[in-house]
Amino acid sequence: MPATVLVLVETINDYLPILEHQGFHLILAPTPAERAEAITRHSGQINAVLTRGPLGLYADEIAALPNLKIICVIGAGYEHVDLQAAADRGITVTNGAGVNASSVADHAMALLLSLVRDVPRCDAAVRRGEWPKIMRPSLSGKRLGILGLGAVGMAIAKRAANGFDMSVSYHNRQHRSDVSYAFCSTPTELARASDFLVIATPGGLTTKHLINRQVLDALGPKGFLVNIARASVVVTADLISALEQRRIAGAALDVFDAEPHVPDALKSLTNVVLTPHVAGLSPEAIEGTVELVGRNLVAFFSGQPVLTPVELPTRISNAVL
């Protein structure tokens, strides 16, 4: 009997035949109501779950799926997947780190250009029949700071350094000896060394609220912030305050705390560019991501090691199996 995969992701339908052609039976549940119904109705049938970081998979859901063996997360982040519950059940978790790096990096640069050059305001003015001569900074030769130099951060760094002659600095959990970019030991130090600060680190407890008032003040009134990672990395109230008071020049955001809700305070600001969490969405990225999910599933159900395992916490010995 083929393995049954519960698909919670709402943006990949055109590429799901990749998994079907590999012999997997799919149950699609892209809305909260469909998700709850599918878990209740098909609880004993589901062997795998396909999700993404913001959608996650919670402990009560894992407990309700007695035959769940593997959770595949699209993208790098898995912040709302209960890793402890998975570990206690011996469930494998994989992610798609790096597959959509090019798409996310492209979007990061698009946001940076739109923000710094004030493209949305210029576009709106022309559509109103106006012809303003808006003076805006250039990107060339500026200092770019990247928080998180993984696959996405590296792709952004290459675009900035090679395409715009920017100097690049970064803060990472560890110094990287394989790159020539300047390492900063704290986010505050990185912000102080940057004209533009791009957040490219995964979400989760270890990165929560790394960007706070202190960091934003270090970025300063001429500095710009771009977040294509996770909203949890930033203290949103501190960001809104800094934007309102012009303690930073502007921000471009693709991620928000309670998606799809966006704070009205952000919508009302003229020094902000907003997009609906689409940085990782491109035909190339989605196809590559689903192909990786397929390879992980085939490997797992063939008894082989998965390609992109997520490290799980220590199993709690008295967990109920």
Query: For 117-235, where are the alpha helices, taking DSSP H only?
Result: 119-127, 151-158, 164, 187-192, 213-219
What CA–CA distance (Å, rounded) separates 168 from 172?
13
Query: 176 catalytic, yes or no?
Result: no
What CA–CA distance (Å, rounded) separates 28 from 6?
6
Centre a 10 Å sphere on the Cβ of residue 301 and count the other Cβ atoms it contains.
17
Could you say which DSSP state residue 253 is in? E
Helix, strand, coil percentages, rounded to 5, for the chain: 35, 15, 45
Query: 246 catalytic, yes or no?
Result: no
Q: Which of 10, 259, 284, 315 is catalytic?
A: 259
What CA–CA distance (Å, rounded) separates 5 from 2?
10
Centre a 10 Å sphere on the Cβ of residue 213 and count the other Cβ atoms it contains.
14
Q: Which of 35, 89, 107, 277 is catalytic?
A: 277
Query: 230 catalytic, yes or no?
Result: yes
Judged by DSSP in three states, 304 sits in: coil
Catalytic residues: 230, 259, 277
